[in-house]
Amino acid sequence: MGEPVNTEVIKERLDAAKSARMKMWLELCAHCGLCAESCFFYLAHDKDPTYMPSYKVIKTLGEMYKKKGKVSREFLEETLDIAWGKCTVCRRCSQFCPFGIDMALMISTARGICNTQGVVPEGLQKAVANYWAEGNQMAMTKEDWLETCTWMESETGEEIAGLKIPMDKEGANIMYTVNAREPMYYPQDIGMAATIFHIAGEDWTMSSEGWDDTNLAMFAGDTKCMTHVVKQTYDAAIRLKAKNIAITE
Amino acid sequence: MELFAKYLREGRIKIDPEKRIKERVTYQDPCNLSRSGDLAEYGREIISYLADDFVEMQPNREHNHCCGGGGGFIPMGPPFKRRRMESGKVKAEQIRATGATLVISPCHNCFDQIRDLSKEYDLGVKVKQFKELITETMIIPEEFQPKEEADE
């Protein structure tokens, strides 16, 4: 709190995001209000106009552009409250905008700019640190991950004859990836997926690295970490010469 | 999810007709799948193999509402929990209107959010993913039955 804002960095980000589409979107909104009723935040708050998607964009990214990046920390805190606390970037509003303005992308851009100044909800910041530390949002160690898979293999194997959870097998048709919440809180999910793959006769594997298919870094607006997360998975698939990557439910 | 639909379509996984789900079910379209991923129909296809009484939420598919837990809302934790429950009102009403007692959602975020909403709005619904429902209802061919049982 109270740290100065690096408006140069914000300006750079705003310029980089100012594509032809972005310029058009910033100009085009006719304030017709058709996006309002598409938003569940607006509907759940008795049609309070401050929950309208267009309003939320104008108050955050719109203001940033208007002020050419010269915004205060207080402003960024207010942006956090709107961009994370009043929008889930679900993209429903874009479907109702007659001009096709992608308001969710604009909110995501605002999130990314907040992120450059360390203005990010704590829970997401923690997830980003976890991705850097262990490659997954829960900071589960490689050892724990492999142990969980072995445990699920032996437990599920008691019910399904011949069941294996093949780790790091090369050349498989499917490299299966999971949500890190599964090995952490719902390990039986891995057993269920293994059961289905096994009985369907699938040629599959899981990787000891790059196995978390969530990307909370994307929701945190952290482009560097979000790229890192995706790259880990693709690197694993290339290393294992997998033909396809499948992601969990 | 595409794979599960394919396994069922190709008969690589078969559902036991006796075990088909009898209670009323509805389907929560995850934004990343049904809106951004164009996978809405696969969900319906899988359900057609699993359940007898399926009722759509209104609206549905790419026009369905977000569960209210997406975009990082759930991992944002306790400071945002109250808001998450308040804005989830729309989803709670959508679910209640279907009369379903089981909500299927192939997304961990939706899963956690709907479970929380069920408590908050007293919806009395369970939430399950396809993996769980498929393994509960599928036929385990004899060669996959555990050895001990086969010996008995």
Q: Where are the domains of chain A?
A: 7-119, 124-247
Per-residue pLDDT, averaged over A206-222, amounts to 98
The CA-atom distances, in angstroms, between B33 and each of A86, A163, B17, B43, B79 are 22, 29, 28, 9, 27
Q: How confident is the model at residue B152 (pLDDT cuts 50, 70, 90)?
A: very low
E strand intervals along A189-248: 204-205, 244-247
pLDDT, mean over chain A: 97
Residues of chain A with Cβ-Cβ distance to B87 below 8 Å are: 40-41, 44-45
- Which positions 3-42 of B are in contact with A (Cβ < 8 Å)? 3-4, 7, 12-13, 31, 35-36
DSSP assignment string, B53-121: EE---SS-GGGSPP-S-TTTTTTT-GGGHHHHHHHTHHHHHHHHHHT-SEEE-S-HHHHHHHHHHHHHT
Q: Is the model's pLDDT at A44 over the cut of 70?
A: yes
pLDDT at B21: 98
Nearest CA in chain A to B73: A88
- Which positions 82-111 of A are in contact with B (Cβ < 8 Å)? 84-92, 95
Tell me which residue in A121, A174, A246 faces B76 most closely, judged by beta carbons: A121
CB contact under 8 A, A84 and B69: no
In sequence order, which residues have a C-beta less than 8 Å from that of residue B25 and are 6 or more positions away?
Answer: B47, B50, B51, B53, B54, B55, B100, B101, B102, B103, B104
CB contact under 8 A, B135 and A195: yes
CB contact under 8 A, B90 and A44: yes
For residue range B93-109, list pLDDT tens digits in order.
Answer: 999 999 999 999 999 99
B121 touches chain A (CB under 8 A): no
For residue range A112-168, list pLDDT tens digits in order.
Answer: 999 999 999 999 999 999 999 999 999 999 999 999 999 999 999 999 999 999 999
Q: Is the model's pLDDT at A2 over the cut of 80?
A: no
CB contact under 8 A, B72 and A216: yes
pLDDT at B147: 76
Residues of chain A with Cβ-Cβ distance to B73 below 8 Å are: 84, 88
Q: What's the sign of the alpha-carbon dihedral A130, B32, A111, A221?
A: positive
Tell me which amino acid residue A71 is.
V
What the block records as the tokens of B112 is: 């956690």
DSSP state of A37: G
Residues of chain A with Cβ-Cβ distance to B36 below 8 Å are: 91
pLDDT at B149: 53
Here the ipTM equals 0.95
- Which positions 160-219 of A are in contact with B (Cβ < 8 Å)? 160-163, 174, 179, 181-182, 189, 192-193, 195-196, 198-202, 216, 219
The CA-atom distances, in angstroms, between A151 and each of A158, A191, B31 are 11, 9, 33
Q: Give the whole-number percent of chain B exceeding pLDDT 70.
A: 97
Residues of chain B with Cβ-Cβ distance to A121 below 8 Å are: 72, 76-77, 79-80
CB contact under 8 A, B80 and A121: yes
Instruction: Looking at the complex, report in whole angstroms how far the Cα of residue A200 sits from the nearest Cα belonging to chain B.
Output: 5
Q: How confident is the model at residue A3 (pLDDT cuts 50, 70, 90)?
A: confident
Tell me which residue in B13, B71, B140 faces A200 most closely, judged by beta carbons: B13
- Which positions 60-79 of B are in contact with A (Cβ < 8 Å)? 62-63, 65-66, 68-73, 75-77, 79
Question: What is the CATH code of the structural domain delimited by B2-144?
Answer: 3.40.50
The alpha helices in A103-222, defined as continuous H runs, are: 103-116, 122-134, 142-157, 181-185, 188-199, 216-220
Query: Using CA atoms, how far apart are residues A156 and A142, in angstroms rounded to an integer?
Result: 21
In sequence order, which residues have a C-beta less than 8 Å from that of residue A68 and are 6 or more positions away?
Answer: A11, A14
Per-residue pLDDT, averaged over A189-199, amounts to 98
User: Which class would CATH give A7-119?
Assistant: mainly alpha
pLDDT at B109: 95
B87 touches chain A (CB under 8 A): yes
CB of B63 closer than 8 Å to CB of B34: no
For residue range B76-90, list pLDDT tens digits in order.
Answer: 999 999 999 999 999
For residue A204, give the nearest of A246, A156, A145 by alpha carbon: A246
Q: Give the whole-number percent of chain B exceeding pLDDT 90.
A: 95
**What φ, ψ does residue B54 adopt, rounded to 5°?**
-110, 125
pLDDT, mean over chain B: 96
Per-residue pLDDT, averaged over B45-59, amounts to 98
Q: Is the model's pLDDT at B148 over the cut of 80?
A: no
The CA-atom distances, in angstroms, between A245 and each of A129, A175, A185, A217, B3 are 25, 5, 23, 20, 11
The CA-atom distances, in angstroms, between B18 and each of A238, B14, B43, B51, B102 are 43, 12, 21, 11, 18
What element of type H or E holds B22? Answer: strand B21-27
First to last CA, chain A: 38
CB of A82 closer than 8 Å to CB of A51: no
For residue range A54-112, list pLDDT tens digits in order.
Answer: 999 999 999 999 999 999 999 999 999 999 999 999 999 999 999 999 999 999 999 99
A96 burial class (0-12, 13-18, 19+ CB within 10 angstroms)? Answer: middle
In sequence order, which residues have a C-beta less than 8 Å from that of residue A110 and are 6 or more positions away?
Answer: A57, A60, A61, A64, A79, A83
